[in-house]
Amino acid sequence: MTQRTKVAVLISGRGSNMEALVRAAQAADCPFEIALVLSNKPDAKGLEIAAQAGVEALCVDQKPFGKDREAHERAIDAALRERGIEVIALAGYMRILTPFLVDAWEGRMLNIHPSLLPKYPGLDTHARAIAAGEAEAGCTVHLVTAGVDEGPILGQARVPIRPGDDDHALGVRVLEQEHKLYAATLATFVRGL
Ligand code: GRF
């Protein structure tokens, strides 16, 4: 079998998208492997999930770096390079990146966002889509560039907004689609490298 692309998943919390990627990578024909799960928060639930799945789970705690986000990112970058990581998948990584990491991984860092970008970048996407009377919501996988939730779109999945939906109900249905979309889009992306 040809070498699979080494992917690191960066998380800050629950890690359900990370878990979906780890599961997808268990398929024999998956073109990527999840070689590392890295969190900026020591209490991220996803770290336990990754370790239980037999994936290296590493915390590069942001606390000791204080406000120096670039120094924190340099520590992350060193951990990624030591392990021969080729692609980063951000999955609920809740810290705005500096140009250092964005530039260092240009064209090789993906993110998933729970809206149909360019609509609703940022937080509270589902509540905002419902309040605006949208007929549909969804999720987007895109390449990471300097602007938050900007960058070329690699894939999207659409989810109808039903009468009576609140942000929780909608969020649950979008999340199911996120898990499928991220694995499929990442596979297509790494096949094209
Ligand atoms: C997801 O909704 C993702 O789109 C957004 O943050 C959330 C992370 O959830 N970027 P999880 O940690 O993957 O469960």
Residue found under tokens 């999207």: 156
Q: Kindly compute the dihedral angle of the four CA atoms of residues 192, 36, 184, 123, in this order, to the nearest 10 degrees.
A: -110
Q: Is 178 in the pocket of ligand 1 (CB under 6 A)?
A: yes
Q: How far apart are the CA of 55 and the centre of ligand 1, in A?
A: 19
Cα angle vertex 21, ends 138, 151, to 5°? 50
Q: How far apart are the CA of 184 and the centre of ligand 1, in A?
A: 16
User: Does 94 appear as a known binding residue?
Assistant: yes
Q: What pLDDT score was predicted for residue 2?
A: 72
Residue found under tokens 């969190």: 39
Neighbours of 82 (CB within 10 A): 9
Q: Is 17 in the pocket of ligand 1 (CB under 6 A)?
A: yes
72 included as an active-site residue: no
The tens place of each residue's pLDDT in the chain, 193 residues long, gives: 579 999 999 999 999 999 999 999 999 999 999 999 999 999 999 999 999 999 999 999 999 999 999 999 999 999 999 999 999 999 999 999 999 999 999 999 999 999 999 999 999 999 999 999 999 999 999 999 999 899 999 999 999 999 999 999 999 999 999 999 999 999 999 999 9
**Full DSSP string of 129-192:** HHHTT-SEEEEEEEE--SSTT-S-EEEEEEEEPPTT--HHHHHHHHHHHHHHHHHHHHHHHHHT
User: Contact, 185 vs 141, CB < 8 A?
Assistant: yes
Q: Where are the domains of the chain?
A: 5-192
User: Does 18 appear as a known binding residue?
Assistant: no
Q: Is 31 in the pocket of ligand 1 (CB under 6 A)?
A: no
Could you tell me which CATH class the domain 5-192 is placed in?
Answer: alpha beta
Using one digit for the tens of pLDDT, what is the confidence trace for 41-54? Answer: 999 999 999 999 99
d(CA 47, CA 38): 8
Q: What pLDDT score was predicted for residue 128?
A: 98
